[in-house]
Amino acid sequence: MNFDFSDEQKQMRDEARKFLAEKCPPKAVRTVLDGNASYDKDLWQGLAEMGFLGVAIPEEFGGAGAGHLELCVIAEEMGRALAPVPFSSTVYLAAEAILIAGSAAQKKKWLPAIASGSAIGTLALFEGKGNPSPEAIKLAAAGGTLNGVKKPVPDGAIADFAIVAARTGSTGRDSDISLFLVDMKAGGVEAKALTSLDPSRGQAELTFKNCKAEPLGAAGEGWSVLSQVLDRAAVLMAFEQVGGADRALEMGRDYALDRIAFGRPIGSFQAVKHMLADMYVSATLARSNCYYGAWALSTNASELPEAAAAARISATQAFQHCAKNNIQVHGGMGFTWEFDCHMYYRRANATALGLGSLSYWEDALIDRMRKRNAA
């Protein structure tokens, strides 16, 4: 058994961490957070040059062709650094959807553009409240044009193209849903940036009015593709969350060692020590669930749906837990704008929602476990 990343993968992690420490310090995150930029363009280009955007994209489409384990490693570092770039929407959602369902021409057009950093993509799935479900998709597709509204769409205001989930039937079955690819520059779609919990990552409302769109994958197979995309993204996002959780824990630990109160470092008080130990526990459980998800993702195992849900739930809980208690360890300082704690708290709570909320994945996990038990 080797239930760990390889030395080469660990080396890639070190490289990514070093790169992000230099190019993406908290100050860079703040530039986007404070509204001075919609995303960090220099960082985005730097990530492209390092080969990180196309790490799981095959070489024939301009990627590094390394694989999904390598992408997991990079994802963790992106989460750790709170990278204010459209990485998850472009790489986990849009690129994966094209890899799964795209035509040869679509792959040839968009995947190299993603790998080189020249195209930002997103997935337009949600229409207001609620979790992913075929019933919630009302946006209509007819005669190759889309009409309707999507929100929230991650990075929707800066995207060059969007994968759009649309209704193409009225049978009440999953097969009513199809996917479309929309070139955002081609007209027919209007993007409006929305205020969100975590301004270091943009959210938008997209309004489609007789918008020309090309099908992505076969008609009626949209929901099946979406399920696969969401499972894959769940594992990758879980690595981001674990990266964030680990960093929040580290920040809390460091502060507890440095800050003196009642004549002692506050980290010597059991109440504080034990809070940090519990943060370590939740981050460790999440990391282990993520490793299982990474294995399932990289081998495309039949266990992937269950592993993805477990990784997602565990990592969501861990990041939220570590981010909130990091503020608690910091006391009043933790609640200031000046300290970085709130950036992790924002990201933890925003990423908890982006692929469907915790309750959605809890349901999914139990359904999948029942299915396995029945089999």
Partner 1 sequence: MNFDDTPQEAAFRAEAKAWIAANAPKQYEEELRKSSLGRTQLKGANILEVAKVWQKKKADSGWACLHWPKEYGGRGASPIERVIWQQEEGPFGKLSGMFIIGHGMCGPTMMAFAGEDQKRKYLPPLASGEKIWCQLFSEPAGGSDVAGLRTRAEKKGDDWIINGQKIWTSGAHYSDYGILLTRTDPNVAKHKGLTMFFLDMKSPGVEVKPIKQANGASDFNEVYFTDVRIPDSQRLGAVNDGWNVSLTTLMNERMSIGAGVSTGFPELFEFCNGLMLDDGPAIEDRNVRSKLANWAVKASGLKYTSMRAISALSKGERPGPENSIGKLVAGSMIQDVAAYALDLQGAAGVLSGPEDAEATGKFQAMLLRAPGTRVEGGTDEIMRNIIAERVLGLPGDIRVDKDVPFNKIPTKGRG
Residues lying near partner 1 in the complex (CB under 8 A): 1-6, 69, 249, 253, 256-257, 264-265, 267-268, 270, 273-274, 276-278, 280-281, 284-286, 288-289, 291-292, 294-295, 298, 309-310, 313-314, 317, 359, 361-363, 365-366, 369-370, 373
Give the number of residues written for the chain.
375
Closer residue to partner 1, CB minimum distance, 108 or 273: 273
Min. distance of Cβ 332 from partner 1 in angstroms? 21
| Torsion, Cα of 205, 211, 216, 217 (10° steps) | 120
79 membership: H or E segment, kind and range? helix 68-81
| Torsion, Cα of 129, 134, 140, 142 (10° steps) | 170
Min. distance of Cβ 307 from partner 1 in angstroms? 8
Min. distance of Cβ 56 from partner 1 in angstroms? 15
| Torsion, Cα of 249, 251, 257, 262 (10° steps) | -100
Min. distance of Cβ 370 from partner 1 in angstroms? 7
Closer residue to partner 1, CB minimum distance, 199 or 244: 244
Closer residue to partner 1, CB minimum distance, 70 or 198: 70
Min. distance of Cβ 220 from partner 1 in angstroms? 28
189 membership: H or E segment, kind and range? strand 189-194
Q: Are the beta carbons of 300 and 279 closer than 8 angstroms?
A: no
Q: What is the largest CA-CA distance in the chain?
A: 73
Closer residue to partner 1, CB minimum distance, 150 or 253: 253
Q: Could you identify the residue written with the tokens 């930002």?
A: 120
Min. distance of Cβ 137 from partner 1 in angstroms? 23
Closer residue to partner 1, CB minimum distance, 141 or 355: 355
Closer residue to partner 1, CB minimum distance, 19 or 292: 292
Closest CA to 5 of 341, 295, 367, 297: 295
Going through 213-328 in order, the beta strands assigned E by DSSP cover: 214-216, 260-261, 264-265
Closer residue to partner 1, CB minimum distance, 41 or 371: 371
Min. distance of Cβ 359 from partner 1 in angstroms? 7
* CA dist., res. 171 & res. 186, Å (int): 31
DSSP helix/strand/coil, 310 = helix
